[in-house]
Chains A and B, each alone.
Chain A
């Protein structure tokens, strides 16, 4: 066990790579989810078809196979990616497909009355989306997005198969050199869990903020006012 603890710089280095993969992969997934998710709500059937093709293809392909494809197959036709780039690309494309479904569903779940009020104020179609529909849809997107980010983080363990030194990769190294199978895997189990908890916390904070903007939770000013009222009343 002490051998494993002594190897903590290795584990931290691996954890940092896992965090990087998660952040970069999530950023790519978010951009793809918004672009293709909004395409899924478009009036034009052609634009909606773009959404279907993207979602069905990348939801239906294994992330690992996608990653092998970017890392081993594409170089054969002269396209060479760094391992990190191939990993972020495959993780982002895969989770982005699930995210696109979340975006599409959330936008459609905003009450039609909100769209109608925006039309009555003569907002342009782009303004209706940007100023009225999307801010309200974000509140619906956040909880499923939180799940997807954690899903992506856990799924990132497969990048050890294309030589990236993430948490799982380091664990295998330590296990090889120390023979401490049990404690090595206990250590990364805990580390993955801790990272997931931090991500979960960040999503919670974002949810609270959005809820406050939408007036579903008393804001800071309101709480202060109530405290003052209680004082005066008491």
Chain B
């Protein structure tokens, strides 16, 4: 497939936003799943999944647990290997590389190259307990991006300012609340200047009173940056706030898709309605 076809042109253009200083800026790639298959043992989680995300688009994946949403993020972060199909990030395939005109499975070098564009925030934060907050934020930029220690520290300071934790720069992760840890994790992901950000149920592990703060932060980041955003969440108001498009999944397939207003206010599929009713009742 010629690279120009990998990003579809029929998705409405999004207005470019002025990127705030510490936020990643630059052209964000689109994403495209092409007949992607993922199995765990005998269970097929994704079957011939096709979908596209335009550059800079912000998409939320909703659906019952086990419907394959998180698997999609994990495939994109190269934490899981697909069993079939192609995943495009911009003009390149994530899990395959070109060799003598043939498509062969990606090696470590190709994955390393592709991962430069992608960042992820996890449900359980996953901060490194053997490093303080500053080191959590500088380790990647110094070791992977080759920034000088001073540059990395400066970047970390700006990001901690952004997430409202400038005073915690020397703190140990275990001394922070869940909400604070998640803010640090968001800053850590942004410090790598990804062009695609994956959010995997980022508020599910937080105490209720801490959820809003983290959501507000992410909404601001989403608005002020031009990242391509893929978000899995059970918080429907957050999904409405943060995304321009919502995909409803069930059993590894897309049941329905549309703008947040269309999906949440006027869903057409019975399965979507059923799911939304169940989520709202809880």
* Interface stretch (choices B117-125, B244-252, B264-272): B117-125
Roughly how many angstroms separate A214 CA and B172 CA in the complex, as a whole number? 8
Q: Does A215 contact B (CB under 8 A)?
A: yes
In the bound complex, residues from chain B placing their C-beta under 8 Å from that of A124 are 108, 112, 144
Contact A120 B174 (CB under 8 A): no
What sequence of 0s and 1s flags, for each residue 101-123 of chain A, a beta carbon within 8 Å of any chain B beta carbon?
00000000000011011111111
Contact B172 A122 (CB under 8 A): no
Contact B126 A213 (CB under 8 A): no
Q: Does B53 contact A (CB under 8 A)?
A: no
In the bound complex, residues from chain B placing their C-beta under 8 Å from that of A215 are 129, 172-175
Q: In the complex, what's the smallest C-beta–C-beta distance from B276 to chain A, in angstroms?
A: 30
Q: In the complex, what's the smallest C-beta–C-beta distance from B227 to chain A, in angstroms?
A: 15
CB-nearest residue of chain B to A132: B128
In the bound complex, residues from chain B placing their C-beta under 8 Å from that of A123 are 139-140, 143-144
CB-nearest residue of chain B to A120: B120
What sequence of 0s and 1s flags, for each residue 100-115 of chain B, a beta carbon within 8 Å of any chain A beta carbon?
0000000010001001
Task: From A119, A121, A124, A214, name the one whose CB has the most chain B CB atoms within 10 angstroms.
Answer: A121
The answer, among B77, B108, B143, B175, for a CB contact under 8 Å with A120, is: B77
In the bound complex, residues from chain B placing their C-beta under 8 Å from that of A132 are 128, 130
Contacting A at CB under 8 A, from B135-186, are 139-140, 143-144, 170, 172-175
Contact A114 B126 (CB under 8 A): yes
Contact A121 B108 (CB under 8 A): no
Contact B128 A122 (CB under 8 A): no
User: How many chain B residues have a CB neighbour from A under 8 Å?
Assistant: 29
Contact B140 A121 (CB under 8 A): yes
In the bound complex, residues from chain A placing their C-beta under 8 Å from that of B77 are 116, 119-120
Contact A116 B143 (CB under 8 A): no
Contact A214 B129 (CB under 8 A): yes
In the bound complex, residues from chain B placing their C-beta under 8 Å from that of A216 are 174
Roughly how many angstroms separate A215 CA and B172 CA in the complex, as a whole number? 6
Roughly how many angstroms separate A214 CA and B175 CA in the complex, as a whole number? 11
Q: Does B78 contact A (CB under 8 A)?
A: yes
Q: In the complex, what's the smallest C-beta–C-beta distance from A130 to chain B, in angstroms?
A: 9
User: How many chain A residues have a CB neighbour from B under 8 Å?
Assistant: 24
Would A113 and B130 be within 8 Å (CB), given that A119-B115, A123-B140, A215-B174 are in contact? Answer: no
Contact B124 A122 (CB under 8 A): no
Would A131 and B139 be within 8 Å (CB), given that A121-B192, A122-B144 are in contact? Answer: yes
Contact B144 A135 (CB under 8 A): no
In the bound complex, residues from chain B placing their C-beta under 8 Å from that of A113 are 122, 124, 126
Roughly how many angstroms separate A131 CA and B192 CA in the complex, as a whole number? 17
Contacting B at CB under 8 A, from A174-208, are none
The answer, among A114, A116, A127, A131, for a CB contact under 8 Å with B79, is: A116
In the bound complex, residues from chain A placing their C-beta under 8 Å from that of B127 are 117
Contact A136 B188 (CB under 8 A): no
Contact B173 A122 (CB under 8 A): no
The answer, among A121, A131, A135, A214, for a CB contact under 8 Å with B188, is: A121
Task: From A118, A120, A136, name the one whose CB has the most chain B CB atoms within 10 angstroms.
Answer: A120
In the bound complex, residues from chain B placing their C-beta under 8 Å from that of A9 are none
Q: Does A125 contact B (CB under 8 A)?
A: yes
Contact A117 B144 (CB under 8 A): no
In the bound complex, residues from chain A placing their C-beta under 8 Å from that of B112 are 122, 124
Roughly how many angstroms separate A213 CA and B174 CA in the complex, as a whole number? 11
The answer, among A122, A131, A219, for a CB contact under 8 Å with B116, is: A122
Roughly how many angstroms separate A117 CA and B125 CA in the complex, as a whole number? 9
CB-nearest residue of chain A to B140: A121
Contact B122 A122 (CB under 8 A): no
Roughly how many angstroms separate A216 CA and B175 CA in the complex, as a whole number? 10
Roughly how many angstroms separate A113 CA and B144 CA in the complex, as a whole number? 19
Q: List 28 A-B contacts (CB under 8 A).
A: A114-B126, A114-B128, A116-B77, A116-B79, A116-B126, A117-B122, A117-B127, A120-B118, A121-B144, A121-B188, A122-B112, A122-B116, A122-B140, A122-B144, A123-B140, A123-B143, A124-B108, A127-B143, A127-B144, A131-B128, A131-B139, A132-B128, A135-B130, A214-B174, A215-B129, A215-B172, A216-B174, A219-B172
Taking Cβ atoms with an 8 Å cutoff, the residues of A that contact B are 113-114, 116-125, 127, 131-132, 135-136, 213-216, 219, 221-222
Closest 7 CB pairs of A and B: A215-B174, A117-B126, A215-B172, A121-B140, A135-B130, A120-B120, A122-B115
